[in-house]
Amino acid sequence: GAVVSQHPSWVICKSGTSVKIECRSLDFQATTMFWYRQFPKQSLMLMATSNEGSKATYEQGVEKDKFLINHASLTLSTLTVTSAHPEDSSFYICSVGGHYNEQFFGPGTRLTVL
Amino acid sequence: GDSVTQMEGPVTLSEEAFLTINCTYTATGYPSLFWYVQYPGEGLQLLLKATKADDKGSNKGFEATYRKETTSFHLEKGSVQVSDSAVYFCALSTDGSSNTGKLIFGQGTTLQVKP
């Protein structure tokens, strides 16, 4: 399967600042990437579907102006959390769409907003 | 809407015990079904999958059979090891055979295996 990396693995920021998280597909050309959010001891919640070269599709209830997604190449998608607040603290996970609907996940980025 | 329901955890077993983690789903159409595993401190990994009714997915001693009549995809392993301790997620996707299908996850079941 595809190897997916995320950077950074852990970030701490002050309230009101913006944070960018990178998701890279190292060995697979990813036309579609997905961004999830995972709260402690809970399941993954899909935030948005990112398509290379076009706008992301956001799930209901996810603020597109707050969670900016850019998928400019077949190997890189970025998630920017703008004007972060403590309630945005979470584990953010990206995945790459493979064949037959399987997805390959990155290791996740833990965001802590002070 | 489409959904996945897993048995609540945590599940605590002794080494070499038999494991069953129940998973049922609700979906329109003909979903593909998956089990993902998340080891402590790591990302999710695909454990096994089944794309049509009566298919059996298997990997690393784990098995699950796609049962359309009971809308279930229960995960089983005959003899668990301490190294199987992890969180297990059941998931479905309803977008045919493309690579753009969204995954809908169950809430996850934590498995703890004691020596």
Please report, in tens digits, the pLDDT of each residue of chain A (114 residues total).
Answer: 788 999 999 999 999 999 999 999 998 888 889 999 998 777 889 999 988 888 899 999 999 999 999 988 889 999 999 999 999 999 999 999 877 677 889 999 999 999
* N-terminal to C-terminal alpha carbon distance within chain B: 41
Give the phi and the psi of residue A4 in degrees, each rounded to 5. -120, 130
Sequence-distant (6+) residues with CB within 8 A of B63 are: B48, B56, B57, B75, B76, B77
What pLDDT sits at residue B66? 97
Average pLDDT, chain B: 91
Residue B98 has pLDDT above 70, yes or no: no
State which residue of chain A sits closest to B41, comparing Cα positions: A107
CB contact under 8 A, B34 and A102: yes
Residue A7 forms beta bridges with which residues?
A22
What pLDDT sits at residue B95? 66
Going by DSSP bridges, is the β-strand pair A44-51/A19-25 parallel, antiparallel, or unpaired?
Answer: unpaired
Nearest to B102 among A46, A99, A100 (CB): A46
CB contact under 8 A, B105 and A44: yes
